[in-house]
Amino acid sequence: MPFKIQVNEKSRDEEFGILNKEVILPELAPIHTPTKCVKNPSVCVIPNATINEVIKKISTNTIESIRDGTDTPNKSIKPRFLPNKLNLTIFELMLDSVPDKDSIKSLASYWYASSQRVLVLPTVASSMLKEDMKLSEKKIQEYVEMMRYIIEITEAIGNSKAFMGTIPLLPPKYSKPIVDLYLEKGFTSFAVDGGTKDFLNHETDFRAILTEINESTPLNKAFIYACNLGIPQFEMYRARADDFLSLFAYVDGFGSTFKTRGRSKVSISKPKVKKFLRSELCYEHIYDSRQKVNDFNQAEQLSEATFIRGLVGQEKIQKYLSTKKAVDPSAMKRLGSIAQKVKVS
């Protein structure tokens, strides 16, 4: 029988949507939130990390490799697991349309074998949800039926792992059928896929998703994960770390960005990467080794999230945020609005 992730609230801030929770899974030490989830971390990042993302891009060629047995979980997924961590295997479907049922069956079997204790429903390319470059109710329904089919195939084999429902950050008209499917199936853990967008600038869409979940499973009893959040890679020298600020909007843990948002207007000889500044909660441009900066950012964000966790219920989060130069009054207002409009019992 599948298990449900057990979530216990420890404390909360009354003005912002941030809760300190204990998340319990079999055979693992409890996970305490809010936290930063890491991806491909170096040794210096590992000790304090509790959640490790393992990203697998799925193309039509990948599906063929899975079906003919040349690509197996033991080759491409499990060597990236970290010991004593919650390893979240996330499939990113780089497909423009829903594959046929035989392909979905092969993919579902591979996905189950590649997942540790939690089954994260795959993320998808935005093109799968669009028709003539616009979001389509027909395409959304096809997507919902694909997810339903994956869930039912998995349930039929005697699933013993927890489901995490992946919800693309879309307007309410399109996100509601997806959320409804997961609630119908009794899910209590959810991954919101930002699709390189951030929650602050799409507050209405994100709030609608949280509201739908909260009406069925109170957010203090649910696990809310955010992935693929946008980072303003080229827009300006210094930019607010909106991915990190998702922790103040009922997000328990946020992960990595799979794709780069924005394009450089000038040619550069080295990749332009941004360094996270804890003192301001922002990113600034830096030309350096991408891996070195990514490792630095993961370690700093993990440390800052851990520090904030100790503040929840002990000190007003508004006082903490007021010390961060990048967090302007407008951002504070929007974060507070999410907490006030999505009331948690």
Q: Please give the Cα distance from 174 to 262 (Å, whole number).
A: 24
Averaged pLDDT for residues 150-176: 95
168: helix, strand or coil: strand
Looking only at the bridges linking them, the beta strands covering 123-124 and 38-39 are: unpaired
Tell me if the bond preceding 34 is cis, omega within 30° of 0: yes
Which two three-digit tokens encode residue 180? 């409804």
pLDDT of residue 94: 93
Nearest residue to 253 via CA among 10, 27, 21: 21
Question: Are 18 and 247 in contact, with CB atoms under 8 Å apart?
Answer: yes
What the chain holds in terms of domains, given with CATH numbers, is 6-260+270-341 (3.20.20.105)
Mean pLDDT (the chain) is 91
pLDDT of residue 44: 79
User: How many Cα atoms sit within 13 Å of 319 on the Cβ side?
Assistant: 9
Provide DSSP, 254-288. Answer: E---SS-BS--SS--SS--EEEEETTTTEEEEE-S
Averaged pLDDT for residues 92-97: 94
Q: What 8-state DSSP symbol labels residue 165?
A: E
Query: How distant, in Å, are the alpha carbons of 129, 213, 259 from that of 262?
Result: 21, 31, 10
Residue pLDDT, tens place only, 262-304 = 444 444 455 568 899 999 999 998 877 888 888 999 999 999 9
Which two three-digit tokens encode residue 264? 């450089």
